[in-house]
């Protein structure tokens, strides 16, 4: 059970997570003479979330990119920690006499 406690202590806090993935979207705006018409597309940052089969895209300002990446990385780390703890608990339950 010591390993379980270590995993829990190393896991990110719930308050420091965002479920989703940071994605960069490149697109044309359609304005005549814009640089995107010559191949240099506009780039925007989003957090993509899937829920009930639908994708939701939330715009993230460029200044918040680092924080968005940290929060989504924390979510994945927390999810992995929960999976490891769950496996430890299952093993403990099935080995009880």
CA 14, chain centre distance (Å) = 13
For the CA atoms of the chain, what is the radius of gyration?
20
Number of structural domains, the chain? 1
3-class SS at 20?
Answer: coil
Quote the Cα angle for 14-5-19, to 5°: 25
Question: pTM for the whole thing?
Answer: 0.82
CB burial string 44-65: b at 16+ within 10 A, e below = ebbbeeeeeeeeeeeebeeeee
Return per-residue pLDDT of the chain as tens, 97 residues: 789 899 999 999 999 999 999 999 998 888 888 888 888 898 999 999 999 999 999 999 999 999 999 999 999 999 999 999 999 999 999 987 6
3-class SS at 46?
Answer: strand
List the domain range (segments joined by +) for residue 10.
2-95
């Amino acid at each position: 059970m010591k390993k379980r406690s270590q995993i829990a202590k190393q896991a990110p806090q719930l308050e420091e997570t965002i479920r989703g993935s940071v994605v960069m979207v490149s697109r044309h705006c359609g304005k005549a003479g814009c640089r995107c018409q010559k191949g240099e597309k506009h780039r925007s940052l989003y957090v993509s979330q899937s829920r009930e089969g639908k994708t939701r895209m939330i715009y993230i300002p460029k200044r918040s990119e680092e924080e968005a990446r940290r929060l989504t990385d924390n979510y994945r780390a927390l999810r992995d920690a929960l999976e490891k703890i769950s496996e430890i608990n299952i093993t403990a339950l099935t080995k009880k006499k």
